[in-house]
Chains A and B, each alone.
Chain A
Amino acid sequence: MTASLSIRQVGKRFLSRGTIVHAMSDVNLDVAEGEFVTIVGPSGCGKSTLLNILAGLFPPSSGQVHFRGERTSGLNPEIGYVTQQDNLLPWRTLRKNVLLPLEFRGVSVSNGVAERVQALIDKVGLSGFENHYPHELSGGMRQRVNIIRTLICDPRVILMDEPFGPLDAQTRLTLQNQLLELWREERKTIVFITHDLAEAITLADKVVVMTGRPGTIKSVTPVTIPRPRDVYHIHDSQAYREIYDKLWEELRDEVAKVM
């Protein structure tokens, strides 16, 4: 398998009110083409910082990132980023929010494009809400819009920062299911941050555990539970329990250090 993203010795320091915050250091990670990687770690360990670097919003203080073998610098249209807040434009309707990246790229909305937009909206169960404004949608619906807005540009890699964080358990499971389906159909490379270990295991090919600040990688655990997975019942399986217990132990140590 070719590496889609390879992260080498990446570190990040911030200058914040005259003091240097060492957010992250010596992060090494390979993400294969089409792989679904989830990252867990204590709060403030630099997970979002890592995604910001991968998205090209700012460069690392040390180390480097390669995308398909080439060193990255700056924003990359092949990489989509679903942020923790949905960041929809409140003055645009659902459909026009999804169209925003196409407008940015100068894609004219021909019949084909309009159909693709509609197909995505239908697929995540938002049909009938195309002309609603974000404040007229629920949190789960907004997060779905946020996701398909990224998908519409068809990036190879999708970075997701706790996209289901603020949602209730029911909605989370539904969205996890939809995400797995989308991933199976489109075979994107996904790097997904979550604070929910169950979610991390359910979705991932491998789960990355990060240490407390300065964040670095503590372990990488492959999840061999066969696909397609049943997000509603996976928690009952023996294989799931074993991985969960192992990861929980690792994570608990890190969280304990931070507290």
Chain B
Amino acid sequence: MAKTDEVKSAPPEELDLLLPPEVTGLRLLWWRVKNAEELRWVRVAALRVLFGVIMIVLWEAVSGRLIDHRTISSPSLLVASFFEIADPANPDGSLWVHFFYTVENTFWGYILGALAGILFGFLLAEIEVVALVIEPFIMAFNGVPRIAYAPLFIAWFGIERQPKIILVMTIVFFLTFVSTFAGIRGVSRDLINVSRVLGGSKLAILRKIVIPSASPWIFNGLKISIPFGMVGAIVGEYIIADKGLGYLLQRYNNEYYTTGLILIIFLLMFLVIMVNQVLNWAEGRALRWRPTSRMGQETVIPG
């Protein structure tokens, strides 16, 4: 990695020296905003908001004029139907009832799956033989699209919460298991040997070397698990349920209610972004030492 020289953001006085003297007033202010290192983040945020607003305006403009609003809905329709569906008096159950049903199922599946995945990752990575033996089985089980298991789980665990939580669990379990396992197998042998020579006990080496080494992989597993886990919950509800965002998707689909479908999609986006934000924050704190920037590491939403 190239070592970046320590670049201090230049104080405004120094920046101004780079400018021709005839630049004054508003143009000077604009120039300062454009170049101040401290404002980098604000500038990016401002541009992002601007981009979002343009998209929304375009959408609103096109809908009902160039393209039928029953096909692509429109921002104003979305807002209107949001208030309608989110109304606690809604006879079908308020949007929030469905929302929290899905969130809760995802939450429990995620927590249980992640705990089990990390635990098993640690255990199996330490036991060479077991790792060798079970690897193809894990790959086989994990390779099948999870939706294929959904009917089985429903048959086994009923149509309430349990099959949905379990579906989420299996998805999250494998993702965190595989990444924890890989992270621990990837810990440098040299680093461990050096630590042994420096007097590290097995437990101390686990705590001070193995866990920190593996943690970027573990975090990665935790992050990619969020949207995939949510897919599990939604798919479970889509197949059979009387509650949840997946159930709403399925119903709106039958009713050709495009605005409702898009509304749910936005809600899911919001959810993934929020959870991701929390994990990014935790990751940033735990992995402060990492030289790379966080750019381009945002979670992708699986199809």
State whether A55 touches B289 (Cβ < 8 A): no
Provide the residues of chain B in CB contact with A138, threshold 8 Å: 3
* Contact status B204-A75, CB under 8 Å: no
With a CB–CB cut-off of 8 A, which chain B residues contact A150? 198
Q: Contact between B291 and A133 (Cβ–Cβ < 8 Å)?
A: yes
From B3, B194, B212, B291, give the contact of A87 (CB < 8 A).
B194
Max count, chain A CB within 10 A of own CB: residue among B196, B198, B290: B198
What is the minimal beta-carbon distance from B101 to any residue of chain A, in angstroms?
40
Is A100 touching B197 in the complex (CB atoms < 8 A)?
Answer: no
User: How far in angstroms is the closest Cβ of chain B from A75?
Assistant: 6
Interface hit among A10-18, A88-96, A183-191: A88-96
Query: When each residue 200-227 of chain B gets 1 if its CB lies under 8 Å from chain A and 0 otherwise, what string results?
Result: 1100100011001000000000000000
**How many angstroms between the C-alpha atoms of A55 and B193 in the bound complex?**
10
**B289 touching A87, Cβ below 8 Å:** no
What is the total of A-B residue contacts with beta carbons within 8 Å? 61
Contacts of B199 in A (CB 8 A): 75, 77, 101, 104-105, 153
Most A-side CB within 10 Å, residue of B197, B287, B290: B197
Tell me the residues in window 60-104 of chain A with beta carbons closer than 8 Å to chain B beta carbons: 75, 77, 79-81, 83, 85, 87, 89-93, 100-101, 103-104
A124-180 residues with Cβ-Cβ distance < 8 A to B are 133, 135-136, 138, 149-150, 153
- Tell me whether A119 is interfacial, beta carbon within 8 Å: no
Interface residues of B in 1-55 (CB under 8 A from A): 1, 3
Complex CA distance for A133 and B195, rounded to whole angstroms: 18
Nearest CB on A from B293, distance (A)? 13
Q: Tell whether A57 is near chain B: CB-to-CB under 8 Å.
A: yes
In the complex the two chains form, is A75's CB within 8 Å of B196's CB? yes
A136 to B289, CA, bound (A): 10
Q: In the complex, what residue of chain A is closest to B209 when comparing beta carbons?
A: A89
Contacts of A103 in B (CB 8 A): 204, 208
Chain B positions within 8 Å of A79 at CB level: 197
B188 located at the interface, meaning its Cβ lies under 8 Å from any Cβ of chain A in the complex: yes
Q: Which residues of A contact B198 (CB under 8 A)?
A: 100-101, 104, 149-150, 153
Asked whether A80 and B289 contact (CB < 8 A) given A85-B190, A87-B188, A87-B190, the answer is no
A83 touches B194 (CB 8 A): yes
Chain B residues with a Cβ under 8 A of chain A: 1, 3, 188, 190-191, 193-201, 204, 208-209, 212, 287, 289-291
Tell me how far the C-beta of A52 lies from the nearest C-beta in chain B, rounded to whole angstroms. Answer: 8
Docked-complex contact A75 and B212, CB < 8 angstroms: no
Task: With A81-B194, A149-B198 given, name 10 new contacts (CB 8 A).
Answer: A55-B197, A87-B188, A89-B208, A104-B195, A104-B208, A105-B199, A133-B289, A135-B291, A136-B3, A138-B3
Give the residue among B188, B199, B291 with the most A Cβ atoms within 10 A.
B199
For this complex, 5 residue pairs linking A to B, each with C-beta atoms less than 8 Å apart, are: A57-B196, A91-B287, A92-B289, A100-B198, A153-B198
- What residues of A have a CB within 8 angstroms of the CB of B195 in the complex? 100, 104
A104 and B201: CB pair below 8 A? yes
- B149 to chain A minimum Cβ distance, whole angstroms, is 38
Q: How many angstroms between the C-alpha atoms of A74 and B194 in the bound complex? A: 14
Contacts of B196 in A (CB 8 A): 57, 75
Query: Nearest-CB distance from B83 to chain A (Å)?
Result: 48
Given A136-B3, A138-B3, A104 contacting B289 (CB threshold 8 A): no
CA distance A179 to B256 in the complex (A): 78
Complex: how many Å from CA A75 to CA B3?
Answer: 36
CB neighbours of A104 from chain B (8 A):
195, 198-201, 204, 208
How many angstroms from the CA of A148 to the CA of B285 in the assembled complex?
28
Which residues of B have CB within 8 Å of A57? Answer: 193, 196-197
Chain A residues with CB under 8 Å of B290's CB are: 90-91
Given contacts A57-B197, A92-B289, A153-B198, whether A100 and B208 have CB atoms under 8 Å apart is yes
The reply to whether A90 and B289 contact each other, CB–CB distance below 8 Å, is yes
| Interchain CA distance A225-B104 in the complex, whole Å | 77
Answer whether A83 and B190 are a contact pair too, CB < 8 Å, given A57-B197, A89-B212: yes
CB-nearest residue of chain A relative to B196? A75
Q: How far is the CB of A193 from chain B (nearest CB, A)?
A: 15
Distance from A77 Cβ to chain B, minimum over Cβ atoms (Å): 6
Task: Output the least CB separation between A207 and chain B (Å).
Answer: 25
Please indicate the chain A residues that have their CB under 8 angstroms from the CB of B193 in the complex.
57, 83
Chain B residues with Cβ below 8 Å from A101 are 198-199
B191: A residues at CB distance < 8 A: 87, 89
Minimum CB–CB distance from A50 to chain B (whole Å) comes to 15
7 closest A-B pairs (Cβ-Cβ)? Answer: A101-B198, A91-B289, A104-B199, A135-B291, A104-B200, A87-B194, A81-B197
Chain B residue contacts of A105, Cβ below 8 A: 199
Residue of A nearest to B194 (CB): A87
Q: How far is the CB of A4 from chain B (nearest CB, A)?
A: 17
* Residue of B with least CB distance to A133: B289
| Identity of the chain B residue whose Cβ is nearest the Cβ of A137 in the assembled complex | B3
